Copies of this chain bind each other. A is one copy, B any other.
Amino acid sequence: MSKPNVIVIGAGGVGVIAAVSLDFNAKSNVSLVVRSDYGHVKEHGYTIKSCSYGNLDGWRPQTLFGSSEEASNSGTFFDYIVVTTKNIPDGPFQSRVEEVVRPVLESNRKLDSERQSNILLIQNGIDIEKDLFKTFSKQEYNYTALSGVQIVASTKVGRGVIDHIGPENLAVGAFDPSDRNAVEAAKQFISIYLNEGHNMAQFDERVRYSRWKKLLYNAAINTTTALVGLDVPRALEFGVNKQSTEFEIFKPAMREIIAIAAAEGIVLEEKFIDFFTDATRNLIFKPSMCVDMEKGQLMELEAILGNPLRIGKSYGIDAPILSMLYNLLHMLQFKLREQKGLLKFDEQTARIVD
C-alpha cells in the first residue's frame, strides 16, 4: 500500500510541529498550508527549536501550499485533512473550518469519489464537528470526522520561527465512536504520527471525554486570564485575599463544566480541578485566549465557552460563573470584531449596523 497523503492546514505552533512529526516518521506524504508566512517559508524554510526533534534549520515539508484552494488544484488526493487553525466560527467567513476544508474535500471527491477522506480537527473546544456535519453530507463527500486533542507547548514566535518547548501528547479518536471507518482512520493516523521517544500519540476511544477534560482548563482558566490580561500565577495572586480567583472563579467554573459533562453522561474526575489549578499555579504563562486578546486577535470563545454553555442549557444545567465569563468575553470578542472591521457600530444610532 502506498503512503497516505496528509495535508496540515494551519501553520501556527501546533500545525508546524504536527507536520514535523509526520515528516519525521516518513510514513506519509506531508503537505502544509501556510498562509501569512508562505513566501518566507518557501524561500528559507522553518527555523525550529524543538524539545523533541532538536534544532531544525531551513526545515520544509514535502509540499507547501499558500492556501487550501492552491492545494485543491494540485491533483493530489489528500487522505487526511488535518486542521490546526484556531476554531472561530464567529470570525471571518473564509477562515471557518468548513471553508478551509471545502476546496480539498471538493477536489478529493472529484479525483476519486470512492476513496475515503478523513478530516481531523486538532482544535480546542466541544461540538466543533457539528458545523462540518451540517455543511457536508457524509454520503456525498465520503468522509470521516476525527477529533484530536493536543497538549503541546509550541509557539510561532516570528516569521517562520517556531519555539517548541513542551512535548506533544496527541489523542485522536472518532467524533462519532460508532463510525467504524472513522475509528480505523484514527488508528491509522496514530500509526503514521507516533515517533516513540520523541512524541506521544495514542488512539482515544473516549476522545469526547478528553475534550471535556481539556475544557476544564480552557473554559475556566484560559477565559479568566483573557478577561484580565494576566498570566495564571498573577491571576491567582491578584485575587481578593489571594483567594477569590481560585475559589470563586477557577474551581466553581470547573465544577460547572463537570456538571454539564455529567448531564451528557461523561464523568470527569473531581481531582482534575486541583490538578489544573496546581499545574499552572507557578507557571508564568499566558493561555491562548489571553494571548489572542492582547494581540487583538479573535478568541476561540464559542468552541471553548459558547458551546459548553449551550449544551448545559439544553439539559437545564445552571452555570452562573461560566455564563458571566461568557457574557463579558462576548463583549470583548465584539470589540475585537469591531477593531478588525468585522462589524460596524454606528455611534449616531448607538446600534450595531446589521
What residues of chain A have their CB less than 8 Å away from a CB belonging to chain B?
Answer: 224, 227-230, 233-235, 237-240, 242, 244-245, 248-249, 281-284, 320-321, 323-324, 326-328, 330-335, 338, 345, 347, 350-352
Contacts and interface: CB of A to CB of B under 8 A. Distances in A.
A317 to B, nearest CB: 16
A80 B283 CA distance: 52
B281 A244 contact: no
A236 to B, nearest CB: 8
14 contacts: A224-B328, A228-B328, A229-B335, A230-B331, A233-B351, A234-B334, A234-B335, A237-B334, A237-B351, A239-B327, A244-B326, A245-B331, A248-B323, A324-B324
A202 to B, nearest CB: 32
What number of copies of this chain does the assembly contain?
A: 2
Interface residues of A, dominant DSSP? helix
A350 B245 contact: no
Given A327-B240, A331-B245, A350 B229 contact: no
B230 A327 contact: no
Contacts of A238: 330-331, 333-335, 352
Contacts of A324: 248-249, 321, 324
